[in-house]
A and B are shown apart, each in its own frame.
Chain A
């Protein structure tokens, strides 16, 4: 896919070209938003807003990596959302069953991804542990570690997406990994055996 060609076509008003770019990067954009915001609905809204912002700002695209450009818009949208949440904190409503008039404890019970229950349990707990650890760290560090370790972006792409120098990326990544290492040690018992840190065994 010639993303620069598509982007230039989109600049000329070709909506299909822009939507092809959206389809290419929407998964990455949504996952970044989800890891940053911790809520799938809020992340979906942020992703949609980010693509709308990208369409509005297409005239500002000056070539180069479209991926870095659009991820920068997504990360800025997420940071704006985090700031907005800090200004106006909200209390989530409990899911409510209108027929039985009983509260549903967690809508995650409704999910059926077909793997075995043990795997689901392990996976969801591991995911929960990772997401809790990510949410406990500062957003600047979170953004870098999500981009590098979860999204698989290289340092240069992260630098282009965040506007930070490479040295800052490296130092923030090192600190974020150090914090996650400690945080995930706390959740050690929740980790599957293959990921369990072999601290006792090696000493």
Chain B
């Protein structure tokens, strides 16, 4: 009959048979044995199995296994174990690997990286500033003029491809594929809201805008000059300095790290295998 006991119960019964339980565990188990006849039955069966095995017939030795001098003469001496060599090699490779990794991150050793980083940052700064400088130089030659004083043109012709958009196409020539509308065509009355917007727009654009404005992003003349000077200075300085190439400072360092890591892993595995095989 099979009873479903957990592996823990099996181990408990087995240890109980061999006297491997503590007094407390023994008392707990014996209490259980009194209340669980199936567990007691299982224990008895295990006990009988153990008894059978303990009294299994000892097989007589078929011959003597002693070694004769002739046999010993044929035995080649065991090769010296390579375990110490591989274990030491693994440790040494690991130490060298750590040293090489530290070498990479030591600031003093990486002096070649510092100017490169500085040059790179200068270069990036210059690249960022270049369009702004060009813009500034353009503005210095021919200042930008914003003419906002012709709202009627925008209203009357600026919408372009509207086709039959209505009033805006009446006076201005059609631009962008608009269809010419006959003057006799009745004009739709604009909505009150649109009329109001148009009046505000007329009022706002009646005079040209001058000076600075946060919305348009136009700098004052003084600010523009100062900015231009600073950018030109940066460009001049960076143009005088030689820009180092973007190659790694120690390309061979990575190769050495990989080699050392491989040696450490391989020799460690070999040492473990040799250790297991050695008796």
A contact set with B: CB distance below 8 Å: 15, 18-19, 22-23, 26-27, 29-31, 34, 40, 44, 47-48, 51-57, 59-60, 69, 72-73, 76, 123, 126-127, 130, 145, 148-150, 152, 155, 163, 170-171, 173-175, 177-178, 180-182, 184-185, 191, 195, 197-199, 202-203
Contact A174 B75 (CB under 8 A): no
Which residues on the A side are within 8 Å of B276 (C-beta)? 163
The one of B7, B53, B60, B67 that contacts A174, using a Cβ cutoff of 8 Å: B7
Interface size class on chain B is 35 or more
Q: Does B65 contact A (CB under 8 A)?
A: yes
Contact B45 A181 (CB under 8 A): yes
Q: Does B11 contact A (CB under 8 A)?
A: yes
Q: Does B46 contact A (CB under 8 A)?
A: yes
Interchain Cβ contacts under 8 Å between A and B, 20 examples: A19-B66, A27-B58, A27-B60, A27-B61, A31-B58, A52-B75, A56-B77, A57-B78, A127-B56, A130-B52, A155-B18, A170-B15, A175-B7, A180-B49, A181-B49, A195-B48, A197-B44, A197-B48, A199-B45, A203-B1
Q: Check A26/B279 contact, CB under 8 A, given A56-B75, A149-B53, A178-B46.
A: no
Contact A174 B13 (CB under 8 A): yes
7 smallest beta-carbon distances between A and B, as pairs = A174-B14, A149-B53, A174-B11, A19-B66, A56-B78, A174-B10, A181-B49
Which residues on the A side are within 8 Å of B67 (C-beta)? 15, 18-19, 22, 51-52, 55
Residue among B7, B51, B279 with the most chain A CB within 10 A?
Answer: B279
CB closest residue in chain A, given B69: A15
Docked complex Cα distance between A54 and B279 (Å): 8
Q: Does B54 contact A (CB under 8 A)?
A: yes
Contact B51 A52 (CB under 8 A): no
CB closest residue in chain A, given B2: A182
Contact A69 B41 (CB under 8 A): no
Contact B75 A195 (CB under 8 A): no
**Min CB–CB distance B2 → chain A (angstroms):** 7
Q: Does B226 contact A (CB under 8 A)?
A: no
Knowing that A27-B58, A148-B18, A175-B7 are A-B contacts, what are 14 other residue pairs whose CB atoms are under 8 Å apart, sorted by A's residue number?
A19-B67, A23-B64, A27-B60, A29-B65, A56-B77, A57-B278, A57-B279, A127-B56, A173-B14, A177-B10, A181-B45, A199-B1, A199-B45, A203-B1
Docked complex Cα distance between A34 and B61 (Å): 10
Contact A15 B54 (CB under 8 A): no
B contact set with A: CB distance below 8 Å: 1-2, 7, 10-11, 13-15, 18, 20, 41-42, 44-46, 48-54, 56-67, 69, 71-72, 75-78, 81, 276, 278-279
CB closest residue in chain A, given B51: A195
Q: Check A30/B71 contact, CB under 8 A, given A60-B81, A69-B279, A149-B53.
A: no
Contact B11 A15 (CB under 8 A): no
Docked complex Cα distance between A168 and B61 (Å): 31
Which residues on the A side are within 8 Å of B2 (C-beta)? 182
Docked complex Cα distance between A55 and B53 (Å): 31
Contact A150 B75 (CB under 8 A): no
Which residues on the B side are within 8 Å of A47 (C-beta)? 65
Contact B10 A170 (CB under 8 A): no
Which residues on the B side are within 8 Å of A54 (C-beta)? 279
Which residues on the B side are within 8 Å of A130 (C-beta)? 52-53, 56
**Min CB–CB distance A102 → chain B (angstroms):** 26
Contact A177 B50 (CB under 8 A): yes
Docked complex Cα distance between A152 and B51 (Å): 11
Contact A126 B52 (CB under 8 A): yes
Contact B62 A40 (CB under 8 A): yes
Contact B1 A180 (CB under 8 A): no
Docked complex Cα distance between A160 and B183 (Å): 112
Q: Check A22/B65 contact, CB under 8 A, given A15-B72, A127-B57.
A: yes
